[in-house]
């Protein structure tokens, strides 16, 4: 009797895919794993692509296989292969126009794509980009050499990272933000003061309360924009950072249930047998707010992908969801983390704020004061992991609340 | 392959003398000489932290080189990996200083080297047979052993104490 090899097919070749493939291999040494990716490149660390723009890292230095937890899990990766549809009745995936691939278990890990506002789409021109892929980074890097000023729309983390890559390259950068502050997803206006100062010091020009009304062009593409307040800004490149939306277009004709992203259960399974989803394409439940959420985090894509891989290989593994906000980064000369529930205006949370010239700490407790539910640290992010642990584990913190508020918390307190 | 050794902490034995911290910083200095290390810039960084647990109890806290290390899975640049000896290492060249590992470490033992913009933590002293903190501990609160030997020694000690208690 021959042993039937399970045929695993994964759509996407990034964080969720590669950690799923590694997990499948850990539990099933002989199954056949095929990965389909529309990008031309072999898997890479997506969050590193701004370094290709700044010139600090080269493409080979971003490669994923063989680095960190990602081993070479004996898989077949087909790059430059776009999936056009999925037929869950016949258990096949179509690539290109006709080529069809059969699966026993399917993981959809197609991630997300930049969201481009309709008005901007209509005006699109040479030199208008969004940074999501290595391909985008290459285009932006190439255009940078003939750009004096880059104009950026949106004040999220992605745009700030890109802005710094461009500043490091010696470009001037103007960031246009509709709300009054940068990073509005990750903190409240008053919390962001130190970050705004750091951005000023770094030479980033921020224009708040504005939108882009018109894109000005000549034969070489973008040459500037007209803002909603009628002011003109000259620049040879326009970068859009208005968030992302899940890549689910190829599922239009399938029976896979979609609510913005692919709806998944606590075992990362979609509504149809043998179909799983993980990463930026999956709709999950925020473990803190209980609200539906598309994570948009590398860390979550890895964790969820790993769960999906185990489940696909028959090792039941529960996925516990993720907090919508779990970000750490360095912006200019300042470090910050934002974790859990951080928008507190008007809600009944107990908040404690401590501010100095160089550091900001905001701690958010549940209304009964018994649990830590969120934290923003700017400047001093020492031991942030302890706070993250308390937030995600929903621990009763009454006994150590003083230490939490006074910034004295250390691991020993967990043992008491 | 022989089972690799790990650093264990015996909480009841720590007197809080901070010798381990000093030895650690010195081992990770450029000169490895106390007199010179003090004036080095950037100043040598320790990777072990003696913390107060209560009025009369202290303990050293350091990287546990976790089995399913959260820092390794979370790292967005692939800089953290596990060696065959079970040491979870940060590759300095690959680290981009995004501090994701600092945010996910449940022990709070990953530091930020701001001058270099790199994360750092216990590397179990690759150039030494016995890690510097263990050698420096005067009360044997830090033990460098394989898991098997450590737990069997702990069991033996416990049964000895039990026997002594019953006999006395
Ligand atoms: C510049 C930048 C910086 C970031 N920084 C951070 C950070 O600091 N921290 C953090 O947590 N997150 C960060 N992120 C977010 C993080 O990169 C994403 O959350 C993560 O990459 C999601 O992984 P994924 O596996 O779900 O999908 P993705 O990485 O989006 O990959 C999707 C894959 O699917 C493939 N694909 C899509 N559609 C098809 C199709 N029809 N056919 C075939 N293949 C298809 C693509 O080729 C790709 O391989 C950053 C993102 C960017 C762009």
CA distance A49 to chain B (A): 10
Q: Stretch A121-137: mean pLDDT, rounded?
A: 94
| Cα–Cα nearest to A41, from A113, A138, A112, A140 | A138
Peptide bond before residue B42 is cis, with ω within 30 degrees of 0 = yes
Correct CATH for A7-113+245-312 of 3.50.50.60, 3.30.470.20, 3.30.70.2520, 3.40.640.10: 3.50.50.60
CB contact under 8 A, B106 and A388: yes
CATH architecture of B64-121: 2-Layer Sandwich (3.30)
| Ligand 1 center to A323 CA (angstroms) | 18
Q: What is the mean pLDDT of the segment spanning A373-397?
A: 97
pLDDT for residue B83 is more than 90:
yes
Which part of chain B is CATH 3.30.70.20? Answer: 64-121
End-to-end CA distance of chain B: 44
pLDDT score recorded for residue B163: 65
Kindly report which listed range (A71-75, A383-387, B142-146) carries the lowest average pLDDT score: A71-75
| Closest CA relative to residue B134, chosen from B53, B19, B46 | B19
The tokens 């069809």 sit on which residue? A100
Distance CA A206, CA A178 (A): 11
| Helix A298-312 and helix A15-27, axial crossing angle in degrees, nearest 10 | 30
Domain A341-415 has CATH 2.60.120: no
Report the pLDDT value the prediction gives residue B167, as an integer from 0 to 100.
39
Look at ligand 1, atom 29, and give the residue with the nearest C-alpha: A14
Q: Where are the domains of chain A?
A: 7-113+245-312, 116-242, 341-415
DSSP letter at A6? P
**Could you give the dihedral angle defined by the CA atoms of residues A46, A50, A56 and A57, in that order, rounded to the nearest 10 degrees?**
20
Percent share of chain A, pLDDT over 90: 90
> Hey, is the C-beta of A302 within 8 angstroms of any chain B C-beta?
yes
Provide mean pLDDT across the span A341-347.
92
CA gap A313, A6 in Å, rounded? 9
Closest CA to A49 of A355, A298, A377, A217: A298
- Nearest CB among B52, B75, B98 relative to A412 is that of B52
Q: Residues B77, B17: contact at Cβ < 8 Å?
A: no
pLDDT tens readout for residues A196-236: 999 999 999 999 999 999 999 999 999 999 999 999 999 99
How many A-B residue pairs are in contact by the CB < 8 A criterion?
A: 112
Cβ-contact A349, A373 below 8 angstroms: yes
State the ipTM, two decimals.
0.95
Q: What pTM value is reported for the model?
A: 0.95
pLDDT, residue B151, reads 83
Counting from 1 in the atom list of ligand 1, the atom nearest the Cα of A329 is: 8
Least confident residue range of A62-66, A119-123, A376-380, B164-168: B164-168
- Which pLDDT value is given to residue B152? 82
> Where does the pLDDT of residue B1 fall: very low under 50, low under 70, confident under 90, or very high at 90 and above?
low
Phi, psi of A258 (to 5 degrees): -130, 135
Residue ranges lining ligand 1, Cβ < 6 Å: A 11-17, 36-39, 46-47, 49-50, 82-83, 109-112, 131-132, 158, 161, 247, 250, 279-281, 296-299, 301, 329; B 76, 98
A301 vs chain B: nearest CA distance in angstroms?
A: 9
Query: Are the CB atoms for A49 and A131 separated by under 8 Å?
Result: yes
Distances (CA, A) of A133 to A10, A137, A248, B167: 19, 6, 17, 72
- A172 pLDDT higher than 70: yes
Is the pLDDT score of B12 beyond 60? Answer: yes
- Closest-approach residue (CA) in chain A for B114: A333
Contact with chain B for residue A145, Cβ under 8 A = no
State both tokens at A163.
């802005």
Write out chain B in H/E/C secondary structure: CCCCCEEEECHHHCCCCCHHHHHHHHHCCCCCCHHHHCCCCCCCCCCEEEEEEECCEEEEEECCCCCCCHHHHHCCCCCEEECCCCCEEECCCCCCCCCHHHHHCCCCCCEEECCCCEEECCCCCCCCCCCHHHHHCCCCCEEEECHHHHHHHHHHHHHHHHHHHHHC
pLDDT at A92 over 80: yes
Residues of B in Cβ contact (< 8 Å) with A409:
108
pLDDT at B99: 98
**Percentage with pLDDT > 90 across chain B:** 71
Q: Which residue has tokens 């950072």?
A: A241
For residue A395, the model assigns a pLDDT of 94
For residue A374, give the DSSP letter.
E
Beta bridge partners of A284: A293
The reported pLDDT for the residue numbered B77 is 97
Cβ pair B103:A339 closer than 8 A = yes
Has residue A1 got a pLDDT over 60? no
Tokens of A122: 């209509």
Q: Do domains A116-242 and A341-415 have the same CATH topology?
A: no
- pLDDT tens-digit map of A255-287: 999 999 999 999 999 999 999 999 999 999 888
Is residue B134 left, alpha or beta, with left meaning phi > 0 and alpha meaning psi from -120 to 50?
alpha
CA distances from B121 to A263, A347, B108 (A): 39, 39, 10
User: Cα–Cα distance between A400 and A407 in angstroms, integer?
Assistant: 11
Q: Report which protein residue has its CA nearest ligand 1's atom 46.
A: A12
Determine the residue of A9, A10, A11, A12 to mutate for testing ligand 1's pocket, defined as the one with the most ligand atoms within 8 A of the Cβ atom. Answer: A12
Measure A12 CA to ligand 1 centroid, in angstroms. Answer: 9
Which residue's CA is minimally distant from atom 41 of ligand 1?
A83
* pLDDT greater than 90 at residue B129: yes
Give the alpha-carbon dihedral of B75, B76, B79, B81, to 10 degrees. 40
Residue of A nearest to B51 (CA): A412
Tell whether domain A116-242 is in CATH 3.40.50.720. no
In the sheet with A232-234, reading across from the earlier edge strand, the strands are: A212-218, A221-227, A232-234
Q: Which two tokens stand for residue A153?
A: 């729309």
- Residue to mutate (ligand 1; options A64, A154, A276, A280; most atoms within 8 A of CB): A280
Give the 3-state DSSP-derived string for A193-244, with helices as H, strands as E and coil as C: HHHHHHHHHCCCEEEECCCEEEEEEECCEEEEEEECCCCEEECCEEEECCCE
State the closest ligand 1 atom to the C-alpha of A17, by its place in the atom list counted from 1.
25
**What residues 18-77 of chain A have any CB closer than 8 A to a CB of chain B?**
19, 45, 47-48, 51, 57, 61-62, 64, 67-70
User: What is the rounded CA–CA span in Å between residue A169 and residue A163?
Assistant: 10
Q: What is the rounded average pLDDT for all residues in chain A?
A: 95
CB-based contact A246:A112 (threshold 8 Å): yes
The pLDDT, as a whole number, for residue A174 is 98
Using most ligand atoms within 8 A of CB, pick from A46, A57, A294 the residue to mutate for ligand 1.
Answer: A46
Task: Report the alpha-carbon angle B58-B65-A414, nearest 5.
Answer: 40
Kindly give, in sequence order, each residue whose CB lies less than 8 Å from that of residue A194, ignoring residues fewer than 6 positions away: A334, A358, A359, A360, A378, A379
**CA A161/CA A165 separation, integer angstroms:** 6
């Amino acid at each position: 009797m021959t042993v039937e090899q399970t045929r695993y097919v994964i759509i996407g070749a990034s964080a969720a895919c590669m950690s799923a493939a590694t997990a499948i291999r850990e539990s099933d040494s002989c199954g056949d794993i095929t990965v389909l990716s529309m990008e031309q490149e072999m898997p890479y660390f997506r969050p590193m692509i701004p370094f290709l723009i700044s010139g600090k890292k080269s493409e080979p230095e971003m490669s994923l296989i063989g680095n960190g937890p990602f081993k070479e899990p004996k898989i077949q990766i087909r790059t430059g292969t776009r999936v056009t549809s999925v037929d869950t009745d016949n258990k096949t995936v179509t690539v290109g126009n006709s080529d069809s691939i059969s699966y026993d278990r399917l993981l959809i890990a197609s991630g997300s794509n930049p969201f481009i506002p309709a008005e901007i789409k209509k005006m699109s021109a040479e030199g208008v980009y969004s940074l999501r892929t290595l391909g985008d980074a290459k285009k932006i890097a190439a255009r940078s050499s003939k750009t004096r000023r880059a104009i950026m729309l949106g004040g999220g983390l992605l745009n700030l990272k890109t802005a710094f890559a461009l500043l490091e390259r010696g470009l001037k950068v103007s960031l246009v933000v509709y709300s009054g502050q940068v990073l509005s997803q990750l903190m409240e206006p008053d919390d962001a003061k130190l970050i705004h100062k750091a951005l000023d010091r770094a030479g980033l020009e921020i224009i708040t309360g504005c939108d882009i009304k018109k894109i000005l062009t000549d034969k070489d593409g973008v040459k500037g924009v007209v803002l909603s307040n009628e002011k003109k800004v000259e620049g040879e490149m326009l970068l859009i950072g208005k968030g992302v939306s899940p890549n689910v277009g190829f599922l239009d004709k399938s029976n896979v249930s979609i609510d913005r992203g692919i709806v998944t259960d606590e075992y990362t399974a979609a509504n149809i047998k043998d179909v799983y989803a993980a990463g930026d394409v999956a709709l999950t439940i925020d473990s803190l707010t209980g609200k539906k959420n598309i994570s948009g985090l590398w860390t979550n894509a890895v964790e969820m992908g790993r769960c999906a891989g185990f489940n696909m290989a028959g090792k039941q593994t529960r996925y516990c969801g993720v907090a919508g906000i779990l970000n750490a980064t360095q912006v200019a000369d300042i470090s910050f983390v934002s974790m859990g529930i951080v928008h507190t205006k008007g809600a009944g949370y107990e908040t404690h704020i401590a501010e100095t010239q160089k550091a900001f700490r905001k701690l958010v407790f549940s209304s009964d004061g018994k649990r830590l539910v969120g934290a923003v640290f700017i400047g001093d992010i020492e031991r942030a992991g302890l706070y993250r642990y308390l937030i995600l584990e929903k621990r009763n913190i009454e006994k150590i609340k003083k230490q939490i508020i006074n910034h004295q918390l250390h691991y020993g307190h967990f043992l008491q | 392959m022989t089972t690799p050794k790990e650093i264990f902490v015996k909480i009841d034995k720590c007197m809080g003398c901070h010798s381990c911290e000093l030895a650690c910083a010195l081992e990770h200095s450029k000169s490895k000489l106390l007199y010179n290390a003090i004036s080095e810039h950037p100043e040598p960084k320790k990777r072990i932290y003696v913390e107060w647990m209560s009025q009369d109890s202290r303990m050293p806290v350091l990287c546990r080189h976790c089995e399913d290390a959260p820092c390794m899975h979370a790292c967005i640049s692939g800089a953290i990996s596990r060696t065959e000896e079970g040491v979870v290492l940060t590759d300095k060249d690959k680290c981009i200083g995004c501090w994701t590992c600092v945010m996910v470490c449940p022990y709070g033992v990953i530091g930020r080297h701001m001058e270099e913009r790199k994360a750092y933590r216990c590397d179990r002293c690759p150039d030494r047979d016995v890690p510097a903190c263990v050698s420096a501990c005067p009360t044997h609160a830090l033990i460098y052993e394989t898991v098997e030997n450590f737990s069997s020694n702990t069991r033996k000690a416990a049964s000895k104490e039990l026997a002594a208690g019953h006999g006395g």
